[in-house]
Structure 1
Amino acid sequence: MTEVSAHGISGATDLPIPLSYALIGAAWALTFSFAVLAFAWREPRLDPDSPGTPLPAFARTVADSAAVRAVLGGLGLLGSLAVLAVGFFGASDSAHNPVPGIVYIFVWVGVMVASLALGPVWKILSPTRALHRVICRATGRPQARGALPYPEAWGNRPAALGLFSFVWLELAFPEPGSVLAVTIWFLGYLIVGTAGLVVFGTVWAERGDPLEAYSSLLARLSPFARRVTGLPVLRWPLNNLAGTPALAGSVAVAATLLGSTAFDSFSMFASWRDFLERVGDDSTLVTTLLRTAGLLGFIAVVGGVFTLAARATGGLTKPERALLPRRLAHSLTPIVAGYLIAHYLSFLVEKGQATLILCADPFQRGWNILGLADFDVRYVLSTHPAVLASLKVLAVLTGHILGVAAAHDRCLRLLPPAHRLTGQLALMLTMVGFTFTGLYLLFEA
């Protein structure tokens, strides 16, 4: 059985679309989008409170069913306990243990892709929420209230720290595929998440839980939403995106997700690997520190450049400009989604199959649960490189165009009329830079 790697891209130099063609296509697509936005989109159009179209009665019943949510939450909790059991008592190597694949592929990628399509999936499957509900019922305390109020100044910062801990494990830790390391991270996530819910109530899950924050962020691009009354509806995704809360740490969350994905591609460059071998020599500590510095550097550049670009406008007071980065941070969500699809698509589809096969016998006892061991991995994307390359380019460009649209609409609301176009210039150029850099890393890694 092939070992499940922590990385989604193992090289893209064999993709049939030359980088120059991809960059030219990106330039035309973005230029066209800027022209349309500047001349045809002159007033704010996105409304997070738009009524949408109510779901059919049956779908509303399922979506609002407490029994369905309880069952799904219970399955999430049982699944998490199974992951811990297999992680601690199953095979010690990832070639025979499905835990790294479950966490890296199904949770980190699969849940997030599902959230793009269906809404905040992790909020329903969350094992920490399920465990917290059990604790609250046993103690008779309300779920929403914790022992202490959640500090507003924290915003999404705890979630950003949690996300960084995961991407550090994936990209900087010496053995990212270690079954024990992945299991310990997941156990730590469960402990911290449950403690946060007990101390602060459900607001912790919304703002401090890294997986729920990520899932809920991408869910803003789902067509499924709820009215203020709670009625489930279908709504234009950009309207949902416009309702993203502007919290402290919002830029940090987006920068961590986007910067880590970029660093993942960059880490495949031969020059970077040669540098690690030359400077790190045989020292695991030095190599880990260099990888950590590189990861932090990419995150800092993404966050710093975006912050400076968002604040580069006139017509506002200094305190108002200071709030612009968090108010515009939602425009990075489509870009994050685009890179998620482009970077991890083949990883999810093909290595996800390998992980399912490993689930047939998680304790190496000769089991064949659900007959999964009888299946073979079908490389449906790797064997069609032209399709894969086209999907990658399409995902990146779609994400950037939607990001530009979201930023443009928000700027129309926030900036004075005299600065509505000029005030966006730095931000638009930054997004162009993100597009070209992202395509370069994807196709030249």
Structure 2
Amino acid sequence: MTPTGLTFVAHGVGGSTDLPVPLSFALIGAAWALTATFAIVALAWKKPRFDPDMPGRDLPAWVSRAVDSPITRWAAALMALVLAVWVAVAAVWGPPGSDNALPGAFYVLLWVGLVAVSVVVGPVWRLLSPLRTVYRLASLRRRETTEGSVRPYPPKWGYWPAAVGLFAFVWLELASPDPGSLTAIKTWLVVYAVVMLAGAFVFGSRWFARADPFEVYGMAVSRLAPVRRSSQSGRVEFVNPLNHLPSLPVRPGMVAVLAVLLGSTAFDSFSAAPAFRNFVDRHAMSVPVVDEAWGATLMRSAGLLLFASVVGLTFWAAARATGGVDAELRRELPGRLAHSLIPIVVGYIFAHYLSYLVERGQETLVRLADPLGRGWHLLGLDAGDVQYVLSQHPSVLWSIKVSCVVIGHIVAVIAAHDRALHLLPRRHQITGQLAMMLTMVGYTFAGLYLLFGG
């Protein structure tokens, strides 16, 4: 990803030569780690251990009171709204090009930062979304609720609108002619705001929960958070993330959401490979469109769609390739196993964008401290305060990246195995998982090669 003013190589580091071990060793080691994990859980893990209904440990009552306090919640929502207005001011009246704070706020603080926060404290975008806050304020004035919406949200739509929104975001980021263009980002945000608010005024607040790409994205990755709301006591509680993970809602479109997230991350690496860039440069003029730039965009768009489709179709096929189940359960298996993709998505997000979040995030905060480019140093922030500690230690960073990918896949194998014990007949609990295991190994090989070798 190379928005204007945020250009860097391989997300802040060099290439696979910075790996502390050869790439082939990393690939073989990762495959063995997954295979060994599957063998161990298959032989020693005979009964399901993870249950979303299993109670956690309640935090002190004052924590729940503070979280639930209308004062706390409105203060957090209004602060997020003020920050959104601050970024909008910078986008409209701030300096042009690379010195503007908008690309960093959009691509770094929102897209990547949302994952980091949601994995720690839960689905915060539901509270912080500026558009939700605008809708709440308008609803207070009109005294309307979700039940008072014009029409109910169609259940068959599920999360498909969010999947489309996420694809629109990654298309802007990875396939559009100029991802860093202030005009392009502002246009995307205006369309996003219009669609979200219009949908909310038709379907009520449920529209945000199903269609807002950032809210659905944050909700999905928050299933790895160690805290949640207890379904029994109603209090905030500590919980084993592997008990929390299977609570991912099973609705149409969830596999597509996760396929877009995982496929786009893989395509990000693939599109940075010299071979692909050279291929696009050679053939862009042959595409029957207006000019070379849009020819390249069309080719990148096709590649992005292909990657997302391959992830979705291979997972769908692996989930359904299970014997001993009736036709109804077979149809449900992709959705009921979709939560096992979340650790892989989170692992790849951190592997790809950790240095981007830490270092470009600091740069963005500095730009937000001077939104109009007038030499302000709000909160004492200055460009000299930015620390490029990860890029200065590439072997350490690559070790973290490999660990994120491998750990994500190991957790995914464990989660899929445990859920299979819940769902599959006893005589098919091992053989029924072989297709999914091979798919996970394929994801690991392809992901590591694209990330470190491509």
> What range describes the TM-score normalised by the shorter chain of this pair?
over 0.9
Question: For structure 1, which segment, 329-338 or 64-73, has the greater mean C-alpha deviation from structure 2 after superposition?
Answer: 64-73
Q: CA deviation at 1:378?
A: 1.1
Q: CA deviation at 1:358?
A: 1.4
Aligned residue in 1 for 2:5: 3
Aligned counterparts of 2:122 and 2:29: Cα–Cα separation in 1: 31
1:55-94 matched pairs, under 5 angstroms: 55-93=59-97
1:7-86 matched pairs, under 5 angstroms: 9=11, 11-17=14-20, 18-86=22-90
1:366-377 matched pairs, under 5 angstroms: 366-373=375-382, 375-377=384-386
Aligned counterparts of 2:399 and 2:99: Cα–Cα separation in 1: 33
Kindly indicate whether the alpha-carbon contact (under 8 Å) linking 1:8 and 1:346 is maintained by their aligned counterparts in 2: no
Aligned residue in 2 for 1:314: 323
Residue 408 (1) aligns with residue 417 (2): yes
Aligned residue in 2 for 1:221: 224
Residue 151 (1) aligns with residue 154 (2): yes
Q: CA deviation at 1:387?
A: 1.3
Residue 285 (1) aligns with residue 294 (2): yes
Kindly indicate whether the alpha-carbon contact (under 8 Å) linking 2:87 and 2:371 is maintained by their aligned counterparts in 1: no
Residue 342 (1) aligns with residue 340 (2): no
Counterpart of 2:228 in 1: which secondary structure?
A: strand
Kindly indicate whether the alpha-carbon contact (under 8 Å) linking 1:217 and 1:333 is maintained by their aligned counterparts in 2: yes
Counterpart of 2:329 in 1: which secondary structure?
A: helix
Kindly indicate whether the alpha-carbon contact (under 8 Å) linking 2:122 and 2:227 is maintained by their aligned counterparts in 1: yes
Counterpart of 1:382 in 2: which secondary structure?
A: coil
1:14-413 matched pairs, under 5 angstroms: 14-17=17-20, 18-93=22-97, 95-143=98-146, 145-229=148-232, 230-281=234-285, 283-373=292-382, 375-413=384-422
Q: In 2 relative to 1, CA 75–348 (structure 1 residues): closer, same or farther, beyond 3 Å?
A: same
Q: CA deviation at 1:27?
A: 2.0
Q: 1:417 aligns with which of 426, 442, 454?
A: 426
Counterpart of 1:267 in 2: which secondary structure?
A: helix
Aligned counterparts of 2:8 and 2:69: Cα–Cα separation in 1: 36
Kindly indicate whether the alpha-carbon contact (under 8 Å) linking 2:90 and 2:368 is maintained by their aligned counterparts in 1: no
Question: How many equivalent pairs are there?
Answer: 443
Kindly indicate whether the alpha-carbon contact (under 8 Å) linking 2:265 and 2:348 is maintained by their aligned counterparts in 1: yes
Aligned counterparts of 2:448 and 2:81: Cα–Cα separation in 1: 38
Amino acid paired to 1:132:
Y
Q: CA deviation at 1:360?
A: 2.4
Q: CA deviation at 1:284?
A: 1.0
Counterpart of 1:44 in 2: which secondary structure?
A: coil
Aligned counterparts of 1:36 and 1:197: Cα–Cα separation in 2: 48
Q: In 2 relative to 1, CA 218–6 (structure 1 residues): closer, same or farther, beyond 3 Å?
A: farther
Kindly indicate whether the alpha-carbon contact (under 8 Å) linking 1:315 and 1:416 is maintained by their aligned counterparts in 2: yes
Q: In 2 relative to 1, CA 8–199 (structure 1 residues): closer, same or farther, beyond 3 Å?
A: farther
For structure 1, list consecutive stretches of 5 or more residues without a partner in the other structure.
none
Counterpart of 2:272 in 1: which secondary structure?
A: coil
Aligned residue in 1 for 2:288: none
> TM-score scaled by structure 2?
0.94
Aligned counterparts of 2:337 and 2:26: Cα–Cα separation in 1: 27
Kindly indicate whether the alpha-carbon contact (under 8 Å) linking 2:61 and 2:235 is maintained by their aligned counterparts in 1: no
